[in-house]
Amino acid sequence: MPPRYGGYRGNHCARAQDLLFQSMAEWLIHVAVVAEPYRVPSGDNWVGDTEGVVAITSRSIVGSPAFDNVVRGRVYVSAFVDDVMVVGVYFSPNKSLADFEQFLAEVGVLISRRRSGRVLVAGDLNAKSVAWGCPATDPRGRELEEWAMATGLTVLNRGSVNTCVRQQGGSIVDVTFADAALARRVRGWKVLENVETLSDHRYLRFDISASSVLPSGPTPLREDGPRWSLSRIDRDFLVEVEVLNRPDCEEENLYKNHPESQAAAHREGMHG
**DSSP letter assigned to residue 202:** P
Model confidence pLDDT, tens digit, residues 157-189:
999 999 888 888 899 999 999 999 999 988 888
| pLDDT digits 0-9 by tens, 212-270 | 544 444 433 333 333 222 223 334 455 433 333 333 333 333 333 333 334 444 444 44
Q: What is the pTM of this model?
A: 0.77
How far apart are alpha carbons 124 and 140 in whole angstroms? Answer: 12
User: In the prediction, which pLDDT does 63 show?
Assistant: 67
Q: 43-92: per-residue pLDDT in tens?
A: 888 899 999 999 998 877 776 778 899 999 999 999 998 888 999 999 99
In this prediction, residue 238 carries a pLDDT of 52
Q: Where are the domains of the chain?
A: 8-271
Residue 158: C-alpha distances to residues 32, 66, 146, 171, 242 (Å): 20, 30, 19, 14, 19
Architecture of domain 8-271: 4-Layer Sandwich (3.60)
- Determine phi and psi for 162, rounding to 5 degrees: -65, 135
**Rounded to an integer, what is the distance from CA 79 to the centroid of its chain?**
13
- Note whether 55 and 34 are within 8 A (CB): yes
Q: What is the pLDDT of residues 115-143, one digit of tens each?
A: 777 999 999 999 999 999 999 999 999 99
